[in-house]
C-alpha cells in the first residue's frame, strides 16, 4: 500500500501541516489579550484631553529607542518593589523591628541625652558694656559686674543707672555723624512719614522714593553711572561676589580680606588663587602663572570671568591697598576689580570718597565698588556702584537684593543727609576736617610703645594694636614665675568665647587645591571653600593673647576710654589672624580728648605688658 505522504513518482516526501501545541495556543491568547487590553486602554485614555499627544510621544520614543522603554519599565518595577518593601509603611507584622519590653523602652528613654545645638564653650562667655541712650563719641555706659549676665531673666541687670561717660574708641564713627542733629531730625521726619520698615524686597513693593534718591546721591557723590543700596553691609559684598562669579570663574584675592568677602568667595564656588597680604609682586606672579596655565592647557582667557578681589582699608589690620599697582595689573592681565571700601568710604580722602580719592583714581575706573553706610554715615546698610549694567545685573541676581527686605526708609534718608554733609565744599566745616589730625595725635602716642605693633596705615582711622612676640614671652615668664600659671585677671566685660575650631564643610570647585597651613608662605592655588582648623598650640597662644588684650580693654574702661578687642569667628576664618585691639578714631573728638584717650591706652598697655625696652 502506497504511503499517504508520498505521491506517485515524487522524489521527496511533503510533510503535512503541524498541529498547534498547547504552548503556542496560550501564547497567541496572551498576545491577543494584551492587544485587546492596549486597545481598550487606548480607547479609555483617548477620552482624556491631550492623551493623543502622550501616546504619540510614547510610540515615537519606543520606535526610536526601544532600550529606553525597557529601562523605564525596570525603573517603575524597582520603585514599586522599593515601596512595597519599605519599613516606613508601618507593617503590622513587626518582623523588621527589634522587640523591646516596656522596661527596656523606659530605660532607653531615661538614658537618652539630646545632642547640644552648639559645641560646648571652653570658657563661660561674659558680656560687653551696655550703652545707655544714644551712641556717639561720648556715650554713657553701664558695665556689668564680673560674671553677671544682663540677659538673665531671674536676675536682670538694673538699667536705672546714670551710666559712666566714656571716650568712645570702639564704635565705627569716623566722620562723627552718629549723633548728628541734622541727621536725627531728618530720620524722625522719615519715621513719621514712612514708618519703621520697608516690609518687602526691593523688587516686591520694597522700593521707596527715598531709596532711589539715595542711590542717585551715592552715584553723584562718587561720580559713577549707577548705584544700588543693600539693607546690610555684610550681605552686600557677600552677595555681590557670587552674583558675578560662578563655578569655573577665577578669583585672585588678598589673603587678609574680611569675613564677608570670604563668605562671598565660598558661595561663588569659583576657583580662587590667593596672594599674600600686601604682596603685589606675589599678585603679579599669580596672574602670570594663570596666564602660563592658559597656554599650557590651551584655555581661552575669555572663556571664564576673572576678578581681583581686595579691600580699600583692610578690616583685619587697618592697612591700605596699593590701588595704583592693582589697577596697573588689572589692565595688564585683563581682569575685573572688585574693591570693598567698607572701612575706607567716609573715612579716608579729603572728602571721604575712599581710597580712590586718596590715589586720585576715578571710582568709575573700578569695575565693582562696594561700601558701607554704617561705618561713617551714621546710618546702616551697604551699597555697590559701577556701570549701569553692573547695577542692573544685581537687581535680579544678587540674593541680598532679591530676597531680603530693603533698607528701612529712615536709614536711607539718614544716609542721604550724611552724604550731603560730606559733599560740603567748606573745608573748615567738613565732617572729616579734624579726623586726620586726630589720627596723627593718637598714632604719635601709640607708636612710641615698644610692647605693641601697629600694622595699620598711618592715615587710617582704623587702628589695630597687637602684642609683640617679645612682650608676650616676657609676660608669660613673669606670670609663670609669680603663680605658676599664665592666667590673667578675670575679665569684667568681655564678649569673647572660644568654641573648639570646627572646619566648615563646603564642596570645593573641581580641579582646585584645598588650602593648608603649609601654603601660607606661597601664592598657592585654593578654592577658599574650607576654613583652616588651627593647631591646639596656636589656639592656646591666641587665647593667651586675647586674655592680655582684654585686660588692656578693661583697664582702659576703668579710666573712661571704651575699647574693644577684634571679634572673629575663629572656627570659620579662612586665614588665622593675630588677635588685636581695634580702635576707631572719630572726628567728633577734640584733640585734648584724643590725647587723654591715648595716654589712658598707653597706661593700660604698660600695666598689663610692662614698659618694655625702646
Cell numbers given for 353: 570718597
Q: Does residue 183 come out as left (phi exceeding 0), alpha (psi in the -120 to 50 range) or beta?
A: alpha
Lowest-pLDDT choice from 176-190, 259-273, 468-482 = 468-482
pLDDT score at 54: 73
pLDDT score at 530: 57
Beta-bridge partners for 155 = none
Percent of residues, the chain, with pLDDT higher than 90: 55
Lowest-pLDDT choice from 56-70, 278-292, 386-400, 588-602 = 56-70
Q: Coil, strand, or helix at residue 383? A: strand
Cell numbers given for 136: 556717639
How far is 141 from 352, CA to CA, in rounded Å? Answer: 29
How far is 553 from 605, CA to CA, in rounded Å? Answer: 9
- Of the pLDDT bands very low, low, confident and very high (cuts 50, 70, 90), residue 72 is confident
- Of the pLDDT bands very low, low, confident and very high (cuts 50, 70, 90), residue 166 is very high
Specify whether the CB–CB gap between 342 and 382 falls below 8 A.
Answer: yes
How far is 72 from 310, CA to CA, in rounded Å? Answer: 52
3-state secondary structure 87-151: HHHCCCCCCCCCCCCHHHHHHHHHHCCCCCCCCCCCCCCCCCCEEECCCCCCCEEECCCCCCCCC
Helix, strand, coil share (%) of the chain residues, nearest 5? 45, 10, 45
> Does residue 483 surpass a pLDDT of 90?
no
pLDDT score at 31: 73
How far is 473 from 609, CA to CA, in rounded Å? Answer: 10
Cell numbers given for 296: 599650557
> Does residue 500 surpass a pLDDT of 50?
no
The contacts of residue 488 (CB under 8 Å, 6+ apart) are 479, 547, 548, 551, 608
- Of the pLDDT bands very low, low, confident and very high (cuts 50, 70, 90), residue 149 is confident
> pLDDT digit string (tens) for 581-610?
999 999 999 999 999 999 999 999 999 998
CA 451, 455, 456, 458 dihedral sign is positive
pLDDT score at 410: 94
**574/491: higher pLDDT:** 574
Radius of gyration, alpha carbons of the chain? 35
- Of the pLDDT bands very low, low, confident and very high (cuts 50, 70, 90), residue 225 is very high
> pLDDT digit string (tens) for 336-386?
999 999 999 999 999 999 999 999 999 999 999 999 999 889 899 999 999
- Of the pLDDT bands very low, low, confident and very high (cuts 50, 70, 90), residue 614 is low
- What angle separates helix 209-222 from helix 409-422, to the nearest 10 degrees? 30
pLDDT score at 524: 42
Instruction: Write down the pTM of the prediction.
Output: 0.75
How far is 366 from 158, CA to CA, in rounded Å? Answer: 50
How far is 311 from 372, CA to CA, in rounded Å? Answer: 12
Residue listed under C-alpha cell 596666564? 291
pLDDT score at 145: 77
Lowest-pLDDT choice from 96-100, 129-133, 412-416 = 96-100
**280/59: higher pLDDT:** 280
pLDDT score at 158: 82
Mean pLDDT of 436-452: 95
pLDDT score at 520: 37
3-state secondary structure 234-275: HHHHHHHHHHHCCCCCEEEEECCCCHHHHHHHHHHCCEEEEE
How far is 375 from 380, CA to CA, in rounded Å? Answer: 8
pLDDT score at 533: 60
**99/293: higher pLDDT:** 293
- What's 181-429's CATH class? alpha beta
Q: Would you kindly state where each structural domain of the chain is located, as residue ranges?
A: 181-429
Q: Coil, strand, or helix at residue 1? A: coil
Q: What is the DSSP letter of 435?
A: H
The contacts of residue 537 (CB under 8 Å, 6+ apart) are none
pLDDT score at 320: 96
Give the chain's mean pLDDT: 83
Percent of residues, the chain, with pLDDT higher than 70: 83
> pLDDT digit string (tens) for 504-540?
333 333 333 333 333 333 344 444 445 556 666 778 8
Amino acid at each position: 500500500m502506497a504511503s499517504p505522504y508520498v505521491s506517485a513518482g515524487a522524489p521527496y516526501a511533503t510533510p503535512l501541516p503541524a498541529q498547534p501545541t498547547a504552548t503556542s495556543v496560550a501564547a497567541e491568547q496572551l498576545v491577543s489579550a494584551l492587544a485587546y487590553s492596549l486597545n481598550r486602554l487606548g480607547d479609555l485614555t483617548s477620552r482624556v484631553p491631550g492623551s493623543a499627544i502622550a501616546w504619540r510621544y510614547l510610540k515615537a520614543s519606543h520606535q526610536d529607542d526601544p532600550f529606553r522603554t525597557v529601562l523605564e519599565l525596570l525603573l517603575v518595577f524597582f520603585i514599586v518593589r522599593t515601596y512595597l518593601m519599605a519599613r516606613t509603611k508601618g507593617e503590622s507584622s513587626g518582623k523588621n523591628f527589634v522587640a523591646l519590653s516596656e522596661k527596656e523602652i523606659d530605660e532607653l528613654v531615661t538614658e537618652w541625652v539630646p545632642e547640644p545645638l552648639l559645641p560646648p564653650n571652653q570658657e563661660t562667655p561674659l558680656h560687653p558694656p551696655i550703652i545707655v541712650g544714644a551712641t556717639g563719641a561720648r556715650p554713657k555706659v553701664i558695665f556689668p559686674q564680673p560674671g553677671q549676665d544682663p540677659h538673665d531673666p531671674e536676675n536682670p541687670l538694673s538699667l536705672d543707672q546714670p551710666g559712666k561717660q566714656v571716650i568712645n574708641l570702639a564704635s565705627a564713627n569716623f566722620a562723627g555723624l552718629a549723633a548728628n542733629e541734622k541727621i536725627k531730625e531728618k530720620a524722625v521726619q522719615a519715621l513719621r512719614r514712612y514708618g519703621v520698615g520697608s516690609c518687602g524686597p526691593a523688587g516686591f513693593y520694597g522700593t521707596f522714593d527715598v531709596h532711589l534718591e539715595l542711590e542717585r546721591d551715592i552715584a553723584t557723590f562718587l561720580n559713577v553711572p549707577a548705584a544700588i543700596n543693600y539693607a546690610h553691609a555684610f550681605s552686600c559684598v557677600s552677595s555681590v561676589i557670587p552674583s558675578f562669579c560662578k563655578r569655573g570663574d577665577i578669583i585672585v584675592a588678598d589673603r587678609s580680606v574680611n569675613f564677608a568677602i570670604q563668605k562671598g568667595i565660598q558661595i561663588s564656588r569659583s576657583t580662587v588663587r590667593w596672594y599674600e597680604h600686601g604682596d603685589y609682586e606675589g599678585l603679579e606672579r599669580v596672574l602670570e602663572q594663570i596666564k602660563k596655565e592658559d597656554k599650557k592647557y590651551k584655555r581661552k582667557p575669555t572663556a571664564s570671568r576673572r576678578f581681583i578681589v581686595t579691600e580699600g582699608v583692610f578690616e583685619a589690620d587697618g592697612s591700605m591697598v596699593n590701588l595704583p599697582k592693582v589697577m596697573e595689573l588689572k589692565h595688564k592681565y585683563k581682569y575685573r576689580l572688585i574693591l570693598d571700601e567698607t572701612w575706607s568710604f567716609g573715612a579716608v580722602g579729603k572728602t571721604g570718597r575712599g581710597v580712590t580719592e586718596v590715589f586720585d583714581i576715578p571710582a568709575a575706573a573700578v569695575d565693582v565698588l562696594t561700601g558701607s553706610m554704617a561705618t561713617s554715615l551714621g546710618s546702616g546698610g551697604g551699597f555697590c556702584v559701577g556701570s549701569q549694567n553692573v547695577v542692573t545685573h544685581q537687581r535680579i541676581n544678587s540674593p541680598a537684593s532679591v530676597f531680603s527686605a530693603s533698607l528701612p526708609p529712615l536709614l536711607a534718608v539718614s544716609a542721604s543727609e550724611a552724604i550731603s554733609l560730606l559733599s560740603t565744599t567748606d573745608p573748615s566745616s567738613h565732617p572729616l576736617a579734624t579726623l586726620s589730625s586726630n589720627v596723627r595725635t593718637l598714632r604719635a602716642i601709640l607708636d612710641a610703645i615698644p610692647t605693641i605693633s601697629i600694622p595699620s596705615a598711618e592715615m587710617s582711622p582704623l587702628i589695630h594694636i597687637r602684642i609683640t612676640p617679645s612682650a608676650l614671652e616676657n609676660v608669660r615668664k613673669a606670670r609663670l614665675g609669680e603663680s605658676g600659671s599664665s592666667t590673667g585677671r578675670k575679665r569684667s566685660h568681655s564678649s569673647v568665647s572660644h568654641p573648639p575650631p570646627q572646619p566648615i564643610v563646603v564642596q570645593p570647585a573641581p580641579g582646585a587645591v584645598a588650602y593648608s597651613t603649609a601654603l601660607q608662605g606661597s601664592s598657592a592655588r585654593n578654592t577658599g571653600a574650607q576654613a583652616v582648623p588651627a593647631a591646639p598650640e596656636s589656639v592656646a597662644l591666641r587665647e593667651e593673647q586675647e586674655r592680655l588684650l582684654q585686660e588692656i580693654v578693661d583697664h582702659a574702661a576703668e579710666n573712661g576710654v571704651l575699647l574693644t578687642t577684634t571679634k572673629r569667628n575663629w572656627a570659620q576664618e579662612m586665614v588665622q589672624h593675630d588677635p588685636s585691639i581695634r580702635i576707631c578714631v572719630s572726628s567728633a573728638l577734640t584733640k585734648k580728648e584724643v590725647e587723654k584717650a591715648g595716654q589712658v591706652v598707653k597706661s593700660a598697655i604698660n600695666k598689663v605688658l610692662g614698659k618694655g625696652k625702646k
